[in-house]
Amino acid sequence: MTDHPFGSAIVARLDELATITDVPGQITRLYLSPAHRRAATLVESWMRDAGMTTQLSPLGDVIGRYEGENAGAPALIIGSHIDSVRDAGRFDGTLGVATAIEIVRRLHRDKRRLPFAIEVAAFGDEEGVRFPTSLAGSRAMAGVFDEKTLDETDRDGVLRRDALKAFGCPQTGVAAMKRSRDATIGYVEVHIEQGPVLEAKGLALGVVTAINGCSRGSVVVTGEAGHAGTVPMPLRRDALAASSEMILAIERLGSTHPDLVATVGQITVPGGAINTVPGRVEFSLDARAPDDARRHALVADIRAACASIAARRNVSIEIAMPYDIPAAPCDPSLSHALAQAVARCGHEALTLPSGAGHDAMSFRGALPFTMLFVRCREGVSHNPAEFASVEDIDAGARALADFVDRFGAT
Ligand code: GLV
Ligand code: MN
Ligand code: MN
């Protein structure tokens, strides 16, 4: 018998999901990949065993439903995601899904029905690693899915719509995923913090106030390829040297205020060779801020800085930032109820913003939502070293279960 049966049951599910990967030796489960498919099948079986009816959404999400006292009652959606970044940790996204399933399994075990239904959403497209945009499933539930994104391609040229077909998703029904205000109470997500604040304060749990907005896109720098042995340095139009200067400018601009962040996470030199002056470079750009005006100002400053470096170095530059996710404040009344549940479970309820993006932010303006953060070690995430303790996971699950129970009582 363990001291933390709730947390241990969740950790057992996380351990099982961690074995499902496209790259042996890592956890790599990109959206609509074979590993994502196997994970979706596993999660669907867990949901059924926990007393839920299940469906695979047209966008590759697994959605389970546990009816309330009366069939068809409005639903509280509890969710997170089961896709991962490359070489990920085992908690990002999966923690929220496993916690939600375990909460429903306990209700089912105890033969309890609440005055509302619970829907558990295991979204598939949170990380945005494979296609240029992300959050397809949660955006569809919020009624703001953009059909044009079905024509996006991954880096191998595979269309999102073809990847969905291969995953076994119907090509219709996206509009029907939208949850109405009448039929839905709100959305709540448990997630590891992915930052160091809770650990620094010595607290297990935090209630999220708002999720920072995010701009994402790509930069293409074009100079002129040449022979590394013959083109004199002053005559070069080196796209990689120019990009390096731009990346340092992006880092500097992202550092002008503690609330801002700007990241270049990918860079490629197409056709690059040891003996060729780089003629073309492509790099990614991700910029975030708690409010949209400051985020847009940051992107504008980055554009201006890169353009001036390009002009000075006689290279051309194209910056495309098609992906713009606004900052999303959590619902004060749901957050308050969650904070009270945290306190009832004997924990201090610190409130904090989320620097990372989450499916919850898709519901901005559509449904009330809130999030519960669980402390993780040294704030490490998107890294195999990601870790949250069974004690903290147990605390998060008990707080969310208490929130759900109290919700049922009001
Ligand atoms: C998802 O993890 C994101 O914030 O990019
Ligand atoms: Mn996540
Ligand atoms: Mn992530």
List, for residues 164-222, the tens digit of each pLDDT value.
999 999 778 999 999 999 999 999 999 999 999 999 999 999 999 999 999 999 999 99
Q: Which domains does the chain have, with CATH numbers?
A: 5-211+327-409 (3.40.630.10), 213-325 (3.30.70.360)
Averaged over 370-395, what is the pLDDT?
98
**What are 36's two structure tokens?**
């994502």
What are residue 335's DSSP bridge partners?
none
How many angstroms does the Cα of residue 157 sit away from the middle of ligand 1? 23
- Whether ligand 1 lies within 6 angstroms of the CB of 402 is answered as no
Q: Which of 286, 358, 383 to mutate to test the pocket of ligand 1 (most atoms within 8 A of CB)?
A: 358
**253 CA from centroid of ligand 2 (Å):** 26
- What share of the chain has pLDDT > 90, as a percent? 97
- pLDDT grade for 2, boundaries at 50, 70 and 90: low
From the CB of 127, is ligand 1 less than 6 Å away? yes
Q: Is the CB of 83 under 6 A from ligand 1?
A: no
Query: What pLDDT is recorded for position 165?
Result: 97
- Are 227 and 219 in contact by the 8 Å Cβ rule? The answer is no
Nearest atom in ligand 1 to 126's CA: 1
Neighbouring C-alpha atoms within 13 Å toward the C-beta of 100: 35
Distance CA 344, CA 34 (A): 42
The CA distance from 380 to 362, in Å, is: 24
Please, what is the average pLDDT of the chain? 97
Contact 140, 150 (CB under 8 A): no
C-alpha 333 to ligand 3 mean position (Å): 26
Q: Write down the pLDDT at residue 172.
A: 87
Residue 128 to residues 90, 117, 357: CA-CA distances in angstroms? 17, 30, 10
Ion ligand 3 neighbours, Cβ < 5 Å: 92
Nearest atom in ligand 1 to 355's CA: 4
pLDDT at 61 over 90: yes
Query: What is the reported pTM?
Result: 0.91
Exposure pattern of 367-388 as b/e (b: 16+ CB <10 Å)?
bbbbbbbbbbbebbbbeeebbb
Q: Which whole number is the average pLDDT over 279-291?
A: 97
Residue whose CA is at the smallest distance from ligand 1 atom 3: 357
Using alpha carbons, select from 331, 264, 337 the residue that is nearest to residue 302: 264
Distance 216 CA to ligand 1 centre (A): 11
CB 332 within 8 A of CB 210: no
Q: How far is the CA of 112 from the centre of ligand 2 (A)?
A: 30
Predicted pLDDT of residue 1: 46
What is the tens place of the pLDDT at every residue in 74-117? 999 999 999 999 999 999 999 999 999 999 999 999 999 999 99
Pick the ligand that lies closest to the CA of residue 361.
1
pLDDT for the residue 410: 58
Of all residues in the chain, what percent carry a pLDDT higher than 70?
A: 99
Contact 335, 209 (CB under 8 A): yes
The string of DSSP letters for 40-96 reads: HHHHHHHHHHTT-EEEE-TTS-EEEEE--SSTT--EEEEEEE----TT--SSTTHHH
Distance CA 42, CA 340 (A): 33
Position 226 pLDDT exceeds 60: yes
Question: What pLDDT, on a 0 to 100 scale, did the predictor assign at position 407?
Answer: 85
The alpha carbon of 385 and the centre of ligand 1 are apart by a number of angstroms equal to 17
Contacts of 280 (CB under 8 A, 6+ apart): 220, 221, 222, 223, 225, 239, 269, 270, 271
360 CB less than 6 Å from ligand 1?
A: no
| Alpha carbon of 145 to ligand 2 centroid (Å) | 19
The answer to whether 213 and 325 are in contact (CB under 8 A) is: yes
Instruction: Report whether residue 356 contacts ligand 1, using a CB cutoff of 6 Å.
Output: yes
58: which residues sit within 8 A by CB, 6+ positions away? 140, 164, 169, 170, 171, 172, 173, 174, 177
Among candidate residues 58, 77, 175, 43, the one with its CA nearest the CA of residue 125 = 58
pLDDT digits (tens, 9 = 90+) for 125-177: 999 999 999 999 999 999 999 999 999 999 999 999 999 999 999 778 999 99
